[in-house]
Amino acid sequence: MKPTSKKVIKALKATPSNDSEKQSFDFLKKFVRSLDGPSLKIFLKFVTGSDALVTNHISVSFTPMDGLQRRPIAHTCGPTLEIPSTYQVYNEMAEEFNNNVQESPIL
């Protein structure tokens, strides 16, 4: 149950259907690898509603959001994470995830 980046990445399940979705999923895994213990717990709480790894899988789906609407969306009852497939570079995605996850009202 204690979260580690390796365990969280193993729990992420996605079926990217094109190169942009595959790239976004790779960016997500890179982002999770970059998180330290407290940040990983905040990420898990955003995605699952718990700061412990209480599920064997986290479904990842992709949306074509762009511009001001682009953001990660978590459905904690699933748990499912919707991520935009429109990221061109990792730094864009990491910045948006940090901003949205840190400001989440469930924290």
Helix 37-48 / helix 90-102 crossing angle, nearest 10 deg: 70
Binned at pLDDT 50, 70 and 90, residue 104 comes out as: low
User: Is the whole model's pTM more than 0.95, yes or no?
Assistant: no
Which CATH architecture group holds 5-102?
A: 2-Layer Sandwich (3.30)
Tell me what pLDDT residue 99 has: 87
pLDDT in tens, 55-78: 999 999 999 998 888 999 999 888
Spans of all domains in the chain: 5-102
**Burial (0-12, 13-18, 19+ Cβ within 10 Å), 19:** exposed
Residue 15 predicted with pLDDT over 90: yes
CA separation for the pair 47, 79 (Å, rounded): 6
- If we measure between CA atoms, which residue out of 94, 88, 60 comes closest to residue 74? 60
CA separation for the pair 48, 53 (Å, rounded): 8
